[in-house]
């Protein structure tokens, strides 16, 4: 091949390489341009989402509309409490369960003077002080009856259907746990000179752990024991199934509650205590307080304490803590309240005619009154829609 032909071949190869480089450059530029456009779209969407979320969080509802109302009858002396999303109505003559749509799922008659009622999720145990029968129910049906051989003094129930009863005959106090069929699973004697009197008790949702707050006097000094019993295989290796105990001087502990199978909360008159462990609960956090404690409420992951607010124009101070006793929200309020409900990201305070709703960030979402009195509020599956249980109806409202 001549030098001239070689030159043209080399020149052609150089042109092809240049064309390839130009093509690759244009492709890189196109990809970068597409990426920039995509990032711009994502950024715009993110900004729009943030704006929507901020507006949603700051939106204040001004009123409500009744979207559904069903009639009901409430006998004199009857009480309503929430049984998950249903309504448990009980009196000394019996009990029944009503769904939010007005459907009555079961009815149980009895004669009990001093009622004892324990609830865990959608399971309830009903008995009476000095009675010997415990009725076990859930929101759908009657699960059965449990007969005790001694008068009942206190009860606890798990979401799995286990029941623990403090029974007493003379000076002897026993703590018995039964399955849903009434079979006794565990029993133990409460020895006053050792642990004290069982003041409050609670079962974990699964029914494997039992927490008891004992109260006793030691040389004139008030003391409390918060004890945990493992009713499963782990507890078989411990005396009386007692796997851990926590002793407190000069402290009354009237409330102990499992938030879930591995977290328990105890509330004393000057502190809250958190215990962690799904087999052997141990102390994991504490927080002291000095204000006068008025009431305690529990959510799925939080605990709400209401204090007297002596140094403020508002009568009460609400503090919400998480499972590590970190302060989630603090809010003074002045409304006389019947109940406080902790939802996923908000708190509902209400009485017979008024409702206040705040987010956990402290933003007020609603503050208004209802036309007729109600004595129970149930959240629904829809946000800011609630079932108000009145004496003659169940009214479903949507805030707007």
Helix (H) or strand (E) holding 32: helix 3-58
Q: State the DSSP code for 57.
A: H
Provide the pLDDT confidence category of residue 344 given band limits of 50, 70 and 90: confident
Provide the pLDDT confidence category of residue 55 given band limits of 50, 70 and 90: low
**In the numeric block, which tokens belong to residue 395?**
């009214």
pLDDT at 6 over 60: no
Instruction: Give pairs for 73-81: CB < 8 Å, separation 24+.
Output: 73/392, 74/391, 74/392, 80/375, 80/376, 80/389, 81/117, 81/119, 81/376
* Cβ atoms of residues 200 and 221 within 8 Å: no
* C-alpha torsion sign, points 128, 130, 135, 138: positive
> Edge-to-edge strand order for the sheet containing 142-147?
115-120, 123-128, 133-138, 142-147
Provide the pLDDT confidence category of residue 45 given band limits of 50, 70 and 90: low
Q: What average pLDDT is seen over the chain?
A: 90
What is the DSSP pairing of strand 346-350 with strand 255-260? unpaired
pTM (2 decimals)? 0.85
Q: Could you report the per-residue pLDDT of 321-333, keeping only the tens digit for each?
A: 999 999 999 999 9
pLDDT at 369 over 80: yes
CA distance 228 to 244: 5
The residues, ordered by sequence, that sit 6+ positions from 254 with a Cβ below 8 Å of its Cβ are 199, 200, 213, 267, 268, 269
Q: Could you report the per-residue pLDDT of 277-304, keeping only the tens digit for each?
A: 999 999 999 999 999 999 999 999 999 9
Beta-bridge partners for 77: none
Q: What is the pLDDT of residue 9?
A: 52
pLDDT at 47 over 60: no
**What would the mean pLDDT of 373-385 be, rounded to a whole number?**
94
Tell me what percent of the residues of the chain surpass a pLDDT of 70. 88
């Amino acid at each position: 091949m001549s030098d001239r032909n070689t030159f043209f071949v080399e020149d052609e190869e150089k042109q092809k390489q240049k064309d390839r480089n130009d093509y690759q450059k244009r492709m890189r530029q196109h990809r970068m341009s597409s990426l920039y456009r995509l990032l711009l779209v994502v950024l715009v969407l993110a900004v729009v989402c943030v704006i929507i979320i901020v507006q949603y969080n700051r939106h204040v509802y001004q009123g409500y509309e009744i979207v559904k109302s069903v009639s009901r009858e409430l006998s004199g002396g009857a009480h309503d409490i929430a049984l998950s999303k249903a309504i448990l109505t009980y009196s000394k003559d019996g009990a029944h369960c009503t769904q939010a749509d007005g459907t009555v799922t079961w009815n149980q008659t009895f004669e009990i003077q001093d009622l004892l009622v324990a609830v865990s999720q959608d399971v309830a145990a009903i008995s009476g002080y000095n009675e010997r029968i415990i009725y076990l129910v859930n929101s759908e049906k009657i699960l059965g009856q449990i007969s005790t051989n001694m008068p009942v003094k206190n009860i606890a129930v798990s979401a799995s259907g286990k029941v623990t009863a403090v029974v007493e005959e003379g000076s002897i106090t026993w703590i018995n746990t039964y399955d849903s069929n009434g079979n006794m699973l565990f029993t133990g004697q409460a020895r006053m000179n050792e642990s004290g009197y069982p003041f409050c008790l609670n079962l974990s949702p699964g029914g494997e752990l039992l927490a008891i707050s004992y109260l006793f006097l030691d040389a004139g000094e008030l003391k409390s024991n918060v004890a945990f019993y493992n009713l499963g295989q782990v507890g078989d290796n411990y005396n009386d199934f007692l796997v851990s105990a926590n002793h407190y001087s000069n402290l009354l502990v009237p409330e102990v509650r499992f938030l879930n199978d591995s977290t328990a909360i105890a509330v004393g008159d000057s502190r809250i205590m958190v215990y962690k462990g799904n087999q052997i609960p141990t102390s994991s956090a504490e927080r002291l307080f000095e204000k006068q404690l008025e009431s305690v409420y529990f959510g799925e992951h939080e605990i709400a304490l209401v204090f007297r607010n002596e140094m403020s124009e508002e009568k009460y101070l609400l503090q919400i803590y998480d499972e590590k006793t970190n302060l989630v929200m603090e809010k003074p309020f002045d409304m006389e309240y019947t109940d406080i409900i902790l939802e996923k990201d908000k708190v509902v305070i209400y009485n017979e005619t008024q409702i206040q709703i705040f987010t956990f960030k402290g933003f007020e979402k609603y503050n208004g009154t209802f036309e007729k009195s109600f004595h129970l509020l149930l959240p629904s599956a829809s946000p800011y829609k609630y079932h108000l249980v009145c004496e003659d109806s169940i009214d479903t409202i949507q805030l707007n």
